[in-house]
A and B are shown apart, each in its own frame.
Chain A
Amino acid sequence: MDSRDSGATWEGLASRDAGSRDAAMESLHQEVMKRVESIGPVPETPYSPAASDLNHILARILMLSKRCPYDDVKEKCIWILRSIQDIGVRIPRPLGNGPSRFIPEKEILQVSKVDARTQSIFEEAFSLGRLDNISLVMGFHPQYLECFLRTQHYLFQMDGPLSLHYRHYIGIMAAARHQCSYLVNLHVNDFLHVGGDHKWLNGLKGAPQKLQALGELNKILAHRPWLLTKTHIESLLKAEEHSWSLAELIHAVVLLTHYHSLASFTFGCGITPDIHTDGGHTFRPPSLSGYCVCDIANGNGALEEMLGNHQATEVSGEVEVLMERMKQLQECRDEEEASQEEMATRFEREKTESMLVTTSEDEECVPSRDVSRHFEDTSYGYQDFSRRGEHVPTFRVQDYSWEDHGFSLVNRLYPDVGQLLDEKFQIAYNLTYNTMATHQGVDTSMLRRAIWNYIHCMFGIRYDDYDYGEINELLDRSFKVYIKTMVCSPEKTTKRMYESFWRQFQHSEKVHVNLLLMEARMQAELLYALRAITRYMT
């Protein structure tokens, strides 16, 4: 099957028209059978090019059999796999359990069955070839997912100041900062697909000088955005023939921040590689234990999951306590007013405390294969605010906010993106089903605001009109550890962390939290970057 031919077939499978799906399925079947016959039932050389071609196709069929939103395609794919297995061909099986290591596969895939809207979004994403595991997990919140996909589509496909391969490369750079191999692999494929140069993938050194210059910005934005000054911006904009234009820079900044925060989400939800990509499937027969390798490496087995469930029942009442606290806060706010001094110190306390929340679980972190080459200076990580005596003035959101200032700047230089981001932030911030765990009709705005502001607090962004004492009341320690890890060094997130906060809450609610974290982080980074650009401009 030459590439164009196969492209048409895969596209046919993604069609909404049942007839064309059927036809495509039929041709796919014939193609597979032809190949199988040409290779023979038991290939002597398992790594011949013909065999590896076949394996690619089989991997994709496997993906379809699991992920395709159309049942007819799903069934047919399963049937094809079975039938060729029967004639002695080794077929792949998925590694790991579903799109996320943290959330049972059943629960994720169930979503699309229940919600028609999710289903239709999935179908749309699928037809664009973009139904990845991230989208599947976000499927818990279709309203957000729709907006997310639209933004992503706009950033990568639509007209913009940067050329397509630059966009993907910047995506790779950003994801690599957090050693997020999932996103890197995703974009390496896209990068090559739009005609990117192989050599660039050997590291930033292989890329044009213009992109190399962006490395510094990438580093600072990812770990210590408050250090960003207008001199950084100036050095990018005034580099003679390698200089960036303002519009390009805004595009790049949006991409960088988008991918830093998406890396947070990826780790925070334990997204696994897509089935048809490397590391998403194996041709080896299942081993006895039934664990996949990565689970063992992380010490997460089925056993622990059971343990976790067990614990959950023990700590029942956690939700009720939280709700009670929220209620109290609501009431007592009206009664006694904390003194001004008190308010000012609370922010500082939260800020300093956020760095005492240790992130390192001494987890053995194995940077996956070929990712590390994209970033230099691995030692440069999140450094806590005001540690080592460097005092950074607090960023007052009242003086530079997204709504008033950031939006105008972005929209001016990269039209429509401001609108899309604005919508995305708002949906993430305002998303609520008025439920908490099993309780209905709860106003969660207080909790959401606490999470949002806690994240901004970690970046030194202060809201004058917020009482940071609330954070202490509402967010317990294990939750803070999770947030801190996810936002500052997402690669260190473990399943244990994911499970140890909010045990009674549902997975969809935890994904919701992740969305909040992701958007809050993106906004924080954007605010710093845009403020630096504004300062450069004035």
Chain B
Amino acid sequence: MEKMSCPSTVSGRTMFCHLDAPANAISVCRDATQVVVAGRNIFKIYALEEDSFVERLNLRVGRKPSLNFSCADVMWHQMEENLLATAATNGAVVTWNLARPCRNKQEHLFTEHKRTVNKVCFHPTEVHMLLSGSQDGFMKCFDLRKKESVSTFSGQSESVRDVQFSMKDYFTFAASFENGNVQLWDIRRPDRYERMFTAHTGPVFCCDWHPEDRGWLATGGRDKMVKVWDMTTNRAKEIYCVQTIASVARVKWRPERRWHLATCSMMVDHNIYVWDVRRPFIPFATFEEHKDVTTGIVWRHQHDPYVLLSGSKDSTLYQHMFKDASRPVDRANPEGLCFGLFGDLAFAAKESLMTGEAGRKPYPAGDRRYPIFFFKKPDVTEQFAQVASALSVFESESDGSSRMDWFIKTARRYLLSGKPFAELCDHNAKVAKELNRPQVSTTWTMLRIMFSDPGNPAPPANHNMSKLGNIPLMNRYSCAFFLSFCPSFHSVFLPSIHSFIFSFYLSIENEETEGSDGQAEYLFGDAELDDDDLYSMEHENQAEEAEFSLPQEAFPLRHEIVDHPAAPEPPAEKPESPQVSGSEAESFCLTPMESFSLISVSQLLYQPQLTPSFFSPVVREMLDHYAEQGDVQMAVSVLIVLGDRIRKEIDELTQEHWYMSYIDLLQRFELWNVSNEVIKLSTCSAITCLNQASTTLHINCSNCKRPMSNKGWICDRCHQCASVCAVCHHVVKGLFVWCQGCSHGGHLEHVMEWLKSSNHCPAGCGHLCEYT
């Protein structure tokens, strides 16, 4: 075919015109000066002027146009400029001759198809050959010199959605079907297709031969994929695949650009995309003008890659200029950042950016960089924004605090239920302490003291704990005590705790007359609890809070008191902190002996006036604080352990939010058991139902490999017992372990036993199984 006009001669701008009705298909004539638009209620020819569309001809004539005018598809002959063909929804194939002198240009009417004709296609080089594909599953080849079809091809399956003559092979055409198949036919052999393959799941709506590459066929389907097949080999080979966001209605190779094709969708998405098949994740260019789905696209000239025409359901006809297309890649963010589960950080950015920064600032130790480069070779004529990204991965230091080990260990070791409240608290406090988290540990102890029911002392299960279980009476005083001793705690309870302590303090003073006053004085004197101290301490702590270095001086002391005054632990174990502030220094000098006496003092002062509910607001604040700090683990654990004591205080949504966050975290760390326990123990209805969903496990029969759809142990298809132990040949009911290599297996204990003595699979398949 001679090049009549070189691409540069076709100039123009992005423009559109309103049609009277939605378009179903469009086609251009050979010299790219006119376009025909066809639809249910429209059949017109427009001339493409420099800056507008001009209606040339309305082919819909007659007072009451028949259904023959209701077009599903239209094609303009590429050799004979007066010849057009349309596919009508009622099953007619009509040809039109523009050279006819009268108004009605209809030339032939073929009504051989029984159902809607989806597609018509002229032979690219043969003037009189027309092909049609219909809903009835037949393709027909018409010789326009005769009044009827010359051959009929039966797809032997459901409806034909598209037919396309090959550009290069004179006799070949491709047909795509509603059941996902694509067939290749030789026009001379109507009895049988040359080859067939399944291209998509669900209907294949369209196909298009590559204009240059012999044997490249692009197909688009309802499954939202565009696939490029290489047909030159024995089996059709999928060489490229582009995943779009909606079902693909049309696909057209871009002229002069080997790797580019344009697509539009049938539903939901109104844009036209031009893809580079080698970069399937981002469209090369997008045309976003249409307001309803695009139904027809065609490149204006077969050698000009810069002008695209499109018709749409929104009753407009557009000419898109490539220079006006939007380039998603320009808007795409070439930087990416992601946190790994264990505190690793991966960061990808444009190469230029990375090198600049790297030169400026050396990375700290512990960072290892893996440079990975993504390159795209620049196109000769087209500039698909070249992106080269470098990916860096920063690994966190193995012993650093940023690692999440503490989270995992805490999650594993915390007890959330199954023991009396006080014991749970003590256990968790111990766990936290062992993991070097004094603040959390202290919180647990505090909680136990606050909420232990004086009437119901915990049974002396643990000899250390029991002492405290029996003296909940000291709750008020020891509370104040801790508050003063543990500045880190302060930061947790702020700000409400302040007023609390204050009122608390006053109430103590009022009560001084009752009981043994002197010793009460002694307590406070020792703890240095007076107004000034409270205030000063607070300032201090606020300053510290910012840095998050938590002073731990109070910690060992508390430990002494709580655990067992009689047997103080060696000081070496106490975590030491270099900073010792004023009031803390004093509290630090408290000896075990003194603290012991404290207990006895407070015992005398037992007053059952402060109910646990008194503490609720404080605890609520504390939980909020923890959650805010990102330690949702603590918030949820406390919530569960406290149960009804606190639940009413916190609104349902917040609780749900915490639970969800915690469960999400647990599942990321694959702590399935813990997460399930949390789900079970939660009281939010939205959470408890989480482990009710998706609990079905589908298995296949080991004999016939079909899905086992029923209950029980017998496959209903091959009537064999499905899960038989390879060792004892009995049905396994319960734990079934199997090799992932050869998929044989059986009772857990049998397989363990067997593999102790043998390396091979017990089924005798010869696979070297391994049990770890």
Contact = CB atoms under 8 A, between A and B. Distances in A.
A405 B66 contact: no
Contacts of B135: 465
Nearest to B159: A403
Contacts of A537: 268
Given A396-B40, A407-B222, A343 B709 contact: no
Contacts of A534: 267-268
B137 to A, nearest CB: 11
A159 B696 CA distance: 11
A536 B693 CA distance: 32
B40 A15 contact: no
Contacts of B68: 340
Interface in B405-427: none
Contact of B709 (A124, A405, A465): A124
Contact of A405 (B91, B267, B693, B714): B267
Contacts of B111: 337
Q: Chain A, interface size: which category? A: 20 to 34
Interface in A5-50: 14-17
Interface string A396-418: 10110001110111001000000
B66 to A, nearest CB: 3
Contact of A465 (B91, B266, B714): B91
A409 B711 CA distance: 34
Nearest to A128: B711
Contacts of B292: 538
A525 interface: no
A537 B267 CA distance: 10
Contacts of A398: 40, 70, 72, 89, 116
Contacts of B66: 340-341, 343-344
* Interface residue range, chain B: 35 or more
B311 to A, nearest CB: 15
B373 to A, nearest CB: 36
A404 B266 CA distance: 7
B289 interface: no
A399 B313 CA distance: 10
A295 interface: no
A320 to B, nearest CB: 25
Contacts of A337: 111
Nearest to B293: A538
B270 interface: yes
B90 A408 contact: no
Contacts of A333: 114
Interface string A510-538: 00000000000000000000000010011
B25 to A, nearest CB: 13
A404 B222 CA distance: 8
B549 interface: no
A422 B713 CA distance: 32
A274 interface: no
Contacts of B293: 538
Given A123-B716, A127-B711, A403-B203, A465 B268 contact: no
B712 interface: yes
Interface in B693-710: 693-694, 709-710
B64 interface: yes
Given A398-B40, A398-B89, A538-B291, A464 B711 contact: no
B203 to A, nearest CB: 6
B372 interface: no
Interface in A405-441: 405, 407-409, 412, 422
A383 interface: no
Please name the 10 residue pairs, one residue from A and one from B, whose CB atoms are nearest each other, closest first.
A340-B66, A16-B712, A464-B89, A408-B267, A398-B89, A465-B116, A464-B90, A465-B91, A465-B115, A408-B247
Interface of A: 14-17, 120, 123-124, 127, 159, 333, 337, 340-341, 343-344, 396, 398-399, 403-405, 407-409, 412, 422, 463-465, 534, 537-538
5 contacts: A17-B714, A405-B266, A408-B267, A412-B246, A412-B267
Given A16-B712, A17-B712, A404-B266, 14 more contacts: A16-B711, A120-B716, A123-B716, A343-B66, A343-B90, A344-B67, A399-B40, A404-B222, A407-B222, A408-B266, A409-B268, A412-B246, A464-B89, A465-B115
Interface of B: 22, 40, 64, 66-68, 70, 72, 88-91, 111, 113-116, 135, 178, 202-203, 205, 222, 246-247, 266-268, 270, 291-293, 693-694, 709-714, 716
